[in-house]
Copies of this chain bind each other. A is one copy, B any other.
Amino acid sequence: MSGKNLRDVPADQRTNAEGKQILNKVLLAMPDNEYELMRADLTYIDLPSHLSLHEPTQNIEFVYFPNRGMVSQVVVTKDGRTVEVGVVGKEGYVGAGLAAGVSRSSVREIIQIAGDGFRMKGNALQRILQSAPQLHVILSRHTGLQGMQVAQTAACNRLHDIQQRLSRWLLMTQDRVDAGLLPITHDFIATMMGTDRSTVSLAASVMQKDGLIDYVRGAVKIVNRRKLEKSACECYSVIQQLEDELGLR
């Protein structure tokens, strides 16, 4: 098995030292010999909702490779307002700065949808990177494409209205979580969208009336994905294409 390409590695054939199954696509995309270098340092962890994996200006202590669930990258202002600038699921990893040699990060990384995954000490990663050129390539690529995702988000935050952004956000979340029901409150969505809760509730109620989504206390369901895609801004497909480019080579 060459192991260079995700398609060559069936998802059920790789585990960490604890025997936990690996679903994270970055770890699955590693060639066997380089994955062996990482194996011992990968610790399986639970990723409970709302847990912060990294706080702004702190040094990057761990990198995380999600198996399930979803992580938000959030910028926090002095006055406590927040807005999401990027997301990471099983197709990526948290702590992207390290592969680029940047040891701290200015964003908060918070679990948006609970799940599980693996983590590794930052300095362990940096040690392994010395002798794992393919890993370096994969992580750098991810860092670069993640930057482009953030760039698109920067434009989206400026140019598109709540409903377009909320639609895009729900689609992106759905893509990264296999559950049919997304366990999120309006209030939490508001902190991601950088607005207040009543604005989210208003947009959500319109979208519910129009048959795009359905929701109850603390959970949102996508009922008509096609309509939702039409409601979302182009940023959704732009970011999708970036993901595609990352995942398949």
- A residues lining the B interface (CB < 8 Å): 73, 75, 77-78, 81, 83, 85-86, 96-97, 99-102, 105-107, 137, 140-141, 143-148, 150-155, 157-159, 194, 233-234, 238, 242, 245
Determine the chain B residues whose CB is within 8 A of the CB of A152 once the complex forms.
75, 106
A105 and B234 form a contact (CB under 8 A): no
B101 and A151 form a contact (CB under 8 A): no
B242 and A194 form a contact (CB under 8 A): no
Copies of this chain: 2
**Known contacts A140-B140, A153-B154; can you find 11 more A-B pairs with CB under 8 A?**
A75-B154, A85-B154, A86-B151, A100-B144, A101-B144, A102-B144, A106-B151, A140-B143, A150-B150, A150-B154, A157-B157
Q: List the 4 closest A-B pairs by CB distance, nearest first.
A: A100-B144, A154-B154, A75-B155, A147-B147
Among B77, B99, B151, contact of A150 (Cβ-Cβ < 8 Å): B151
B153 and A242 form a contact (CB under 8 A): no
Distance between A85 CB and nearest chain B CB, rounded to angstroms: 4
Determine the chain B residues whose CB is within 8 A of the CB of A75 once the complex forms.
151-152, 154-155
B234 and A151 form a contact (CB under 8 A): no
Determine the chain B residues whose CB is within 8 A of the CB of A102 once the complex forms.
141, 144-145, 148, 245
Distance between A71 CB and nearest chain B CB, rounded to angstroms: 14
- Closest B residue to A238 by beta carbon equals B106
Determine the chain B residues whose CB is within 8 A of the CB of A155 once the complex forms.
75, 77, 83, 85, 157, 194
- List 9 A-B residue pairs with CB atoms under 8 Å apart, sorted by A's residue number: A75-B154, A83-B159, A99-B144, A100-B145, A101-B140, A107-B148, A147-B150, A150-B151, A154-B154
